[in-house]
A and B are shown apart, each in its own frame.
Chain A
Amino acid sequence: MTLADLWFWIIAVSFTIYFFLEGFDFGVDLLRPLLARNERERKAMIGTIGPFWDGNEVWVILAAGTIFATFPLWYGALLTGIYPIFALILLALIGRGVAFEFRSQIDRPGWRVFWDVTSFVGSLIPAFFWGVVMANLVRGLPIGTAGKFQGSLRDYFDLFSLLGGAATLLLFMLHGATFLLLRLHKGDELHARARQAALFWGFLATVATLAFVYLGYVREGLFQNFGLASWLFPVAAAITLGSIWVALTRKWDGLAFLASGLTVAFSTLTVFLGLFPRVLPSTLGQQFDLTVQNAASQPYTLRLMTIVGVIFLPLIIGYQVWNYYVFRQRVRVDAGRLEEGY
């Protein structure tokens, strides 16, 4: 494996971790209007992700920054190619990021409703559009010579990419619901509602994901360059998705969360496995495909990044795990003081 290959997989793993982590905090935001019936419950739900969401979000900044450093051509072509989608995602993330902090600053219902709507929409847009981005990544963009984007605004959206969006959105809702099962006090009514939500949204997520995979298989050749072993990923995703049902109905909450998380992870990895060794297929012709080799940075940069990555990635994972450990206890709805986001 060359260093360029290595960095492709580090980027794939960064996206996977990002979707795994921020997937559930998007999900909690999306479920809040559906599950919480009063201010206490809303606060408890925010409290489950309060200490974590900001650290989760950094994974996408890492993924993007890493693409910039290790595959500059990919970076320029992808971000320019689907510019409006990224602009939308960024605007949503802005609103969401400040909503957590600002919501608690003024004690008025109207003010809080405004920020609740902002953070809901701020989660809805990226949860859906990251799926659209992934679908476009699989399908490819009109990229011409030297990685120059030659298309226009049309056709980001077809059945395939919309299904990709729906699948991520629903998977994140499922993932958020199973996260709530772990984080909320078991005696609270909210906890029971989260289980119902997991079952309902999990069902829809299964349907959407299967449809996306099927369409990807027949229309986009999603698995065409998979060896037999690589089939393990989509199969494993299907198995984990199935095992969620067992876990939810038998109240094995830890397993449910693990399964929904693995589903998110396997789905993401499937996209990158399908992509490899390309980083961005061109719809204008194979000769324009950006690949790991032709889009990569010079060896010197890659070596440098590898050294830095080897030092810092374990450190980051270490203190993030510790962060989850410190705030491992379940959040209560009926406690006197409630948690805020920041």
Chain B
Amino acid sequence: MDALGFTALDLSRFQFATTNIFHFFFVPFTVGLAITIAVFQTLAYARQSQLYEDLTKFFGHLFLINFAVGVVTGIVQEFQFGMNWAGFSNFVGNIFGVPLALEVLMAFFLESTFLGLWWFGRDRLPKWANLASIWLVAVGSTISAFWIIIANAWMQHPVGFEVVNGQALMTSFWAVMTNPKGWSWFFHIWFAGLTIAAFFVLGVSAYHLRRGERTVRTHTPRPQQTPLTTRGPQHNAQGLRQAGDDQAGRQQHASERGHFLAAMKVGLVIAAIGTFGVIAVGHLQGQSARRDQPMKFAAFEAIWDTTTGQTPESLIALPSNREGRNLFNLEIPYVGSILAYNRPTGGVTGLHDLQKEYQAKYGPGNYIPPVWPVYWAFRIMVGCGLLMLGMVVWGLWLWRKGRLTGAPLYLTGLLFMPLIPHIANFSGFITTEMGRQPWIVQGQLLTANAVSPLAPGVVLVSLVSFWIVYLLLIGLDVFLLTRTATAGLHRPDVEAEGLPAPRYDGGEA
């Protein structure tokens, strides 16, 4: 049975991969931005600083837009394991379900409850409790990342289990929880989250600094009481403002420049931590892949034939799975060994030999992942990492010289930087998830055996629906983030319309 020539397996894979990638755009961003905002609010609290208060609110607003999309795309992920991958659920539920349930118990409730308390509780909680709330949101999102990565790492490097009657049974939760692969990935992605958030903050700040001095902004006088109706031109944001909240007609002097310079400095520090971290951990991960997922490692490097002695590093290659070789390959000698072993010599087992090995071990079949996407995604990821590193070093140097705001070329460059860590993330996802095919659980369960017995037409309909909704979500998210970010700190209707605190019935409010 097929729909448009696709089987339920093809469609389920495509649906899962794409919904997962969409989700993966938002989530590390959420993790990093929660921490960044918590830092802003901590500075505001410690220094009694209105400036950091403003930044907390401004980036908090952006955070909420993004958080919503992250949450809703996450629910889909959980359900899809059962919906599209019943074979997988049956095989791994005993093990894989546990970190997933832990994620809900330890993180989701924490995040969603304290996010509400943080945002709506601004004028209802003591300052310290409000600050604690955003930290709990940040901790929650980090814990959530940890458990989901532990779950994923188990699929790539299964530990602490035995297979009985076609089900993987857990023999040691400790082994699952301390899976070294999981921990290195967790740090890799956690640092990646920091880079996404930091370069977002840097990009937004650069945008405002680049536009030059706009220190004096005038709020137009607004009527105290605007009649509200459902439609009509008189219905505007000003009508919703609380009278007396901001003396009508008073001019507001706001030095956005000072704000965004401060934001930039915080952003640079976080970007430095994130970028150095992500690269250092990434290097270790490459080496761990060589040890426990050699097929994936060989695909990273497009090494078809086993090398002995020194291994060169491929710079540009055109790998072809069909021909089983690289149609073109530009290499630098020794560098491959250095990356794989931290020394100039050391051989790497090639794809052909691994294929023979796997066939001997697991029976006939094709165990070579699609090499060219893995090879290129890996290079794009590394390239983005190096670009971010360059921008961080440049920025730190400018900061030291005291010329952070006076470097138009740098500021212009930063405008494009929010995109780069997202591209790196996307490529990293492709590298690691495609690189492990055809396995869903390395060495234990083939993706082809994990799929639910569904009619392809059903999956096609859901796939198209999810795509339409997700594309809309991404479009709206980018549009709203851009709109809010470029509006600046003191745009009246952002302030009025953008999530003011609740108004309750008398009493403490």
Please report A residues at the B interface, Cβ cutoff 8 Å: 37-40, 47, 50-52, 54-55, 57-58, 61-62, 64-73, 75-80, 83-84, 86-87, 90-91, 93-95, 97-98, 100-102, 104-107, 109, 146-150, 152-153, 185, 297-298, 300-301, 304-305, 308-309, 312-313, 316, 319-320, 323, 326-327, 329-332, 335-340, 342
Contacts and interface: CB of A to CB of B under 8 A. Distances in A.
Interface string B213-227: 000000000000000
Given A68-B97, A79-B83, A80-B453, A329 B505 contact: yes
Contacts of A83: 83-84, 452, 454, 458, 462
Interface in B142-174: 167, 169-171, 173
Interface string B420-461: 000000000000000000000000000000001111001001
Contacts of B96: 68
Interface string B467-509: 0010001001000100110000000010011111111111111
A328 B71 CA distance: 25
A39 B90 contact: no
Contacts of B45: none
A332 B78 CA distance: 38
A104 B241 CA distance: 14
B47 interface: no
Interface in B61-89: 64-65, 67-69, 71-73, 75-76, 78-79, 81-87, 89
Contact of B501 (A87, A95, A309, A337): A337
A223 B469 CA distance: 41
Nearest to A52: B116
B15 to A, nearest CB: 10
B6 interface: no
Given A39-B228, A331-B503, A72 B480 contact: no
A101 B395 CA distance: 34
Given A58-B108, A298-B170, A331-B503, 6 more contacts: A39-B228, A39-B229, A64-B79, A68-B82, A76-B89, A147-B86
B452 A149 contact: yes
B108, B125, B483 — most chain A CB neighbours (10 Å): B108
A69 B237 contact: no
B83 A80 contact: yes
A68 B101 contact: yes
A91 B458 contact: no
A57 B74 CA distance: 12
A244 B134 CA distance: 39
Contacts of A147: 86, 90
B90 A72 contact: yes
Contacts of A97: 68, 71-72, 75
A155 B350 CA distance: 52
Contacts of B480: 102, 105-106
Contacts of A76: 82, 85-87, 89-90, 93, 452
A313 B110 CA distance: 11
Nearest to B164: A298
A52 B113 CA distance: 7
Contacts of B97: 65, 68-70, 72, 75, 297, 301
A294 B441 CA distance: 24
A54 B116 contact: yes
A98 B69 contact: yes
Nearest to B119: A342
B454 A80 contact: yes
Nearest to B95: A301
Interface of B: 64-65, 67-69, 71-73, 75-76, 78-79, 81-87, 89-90, 92-98, 100-106, 108-110, 112-117, 119-121, 124-125, 167, 169-171, 173, 228-231, 235-237, 240-243, 245, 452-455, 458, 461-462, 465-466, 469, 473, 476, 480, 483-484, 493, 496-509
Contacts of B497: 104-107
Contacts of B499: 104, 340, 342
B124 A327 contact: yes
Smallest CB-CB A-B distances: 3 pairs: A72-B93, A69-B97, A76-B86
Contacts of B104: 58, 61-62, 65-66
Contact of B94 (A47, A62, A109, A301): A301
Contact of B240 (A73, A298, A313, A337): A337
Contact of B243 (A40, A313, A327, A336): A336
A200 to B, nearest CB: 23
A326 to B, nearest CB: 6
Nearest to A56: B112
A105 B498 contact: yes
A337 B230 contact: no
Contact of A102 (B68, B117, B505): B68
A65 B228 contact: no
B69, B72, B108, B473 — most chain A CB neighbours (10 Å): B72
A86 B80 CA distance: 9
A332 B503 contact: yes
Contacts of A330: 504-505
B235 A39 contact: yes
B113 A320 contact: yes
Contacts of A65: 78, 97, 100-101, 103-104
Contacts of B237: 107
A229 B433 CA distance: 52
13 contacts: A38-B229, A64-B78, A65-B78, A67-B82, A69-B98, A83-B458, A98-B69, A101-B64, A304-B98, A316-B105, A329-B508, A335-B504, A339-B500
Contacts of B109: 55, 58, 62, 316, 319-320
A91 B469 contact: yes
A336 B115 contact: no
A152 B64 CA distance: 40
A308 B101 contact: yes
A331 B169 contact: no
A327 to B, nearest CB: 7
Contacts of A337: 240-242, 245, 500-501, 503
A72 B89 contact: yes
A153 B458 contact: yes
Contact of B89 (A68, A312, A336, A338): A68
A308 B242 CA distance: 46
A38 B228 contact: yes
Contacts of A316: 105, 109, 113
A305 B121 contact: no
Contacts of B173: 300, 304
Contact of A79 (B86, B102, B500): B86
Given A69-B97, A342-B115, A329 B500 contact: no
Given A51-B120, A342-B119, A84 B101 contact: no
A58, A106, A150, A323 — most chain B CB neighbours (10 Å): A58
A109 B503 contact: no
Contact of A342 (B116, B453, B461): B116
Contacts of A185: 505
Nearest to A150: B453
B79 A329 contact: no
B122 to A, nearest CB: 11
A54 B112 contact: yes
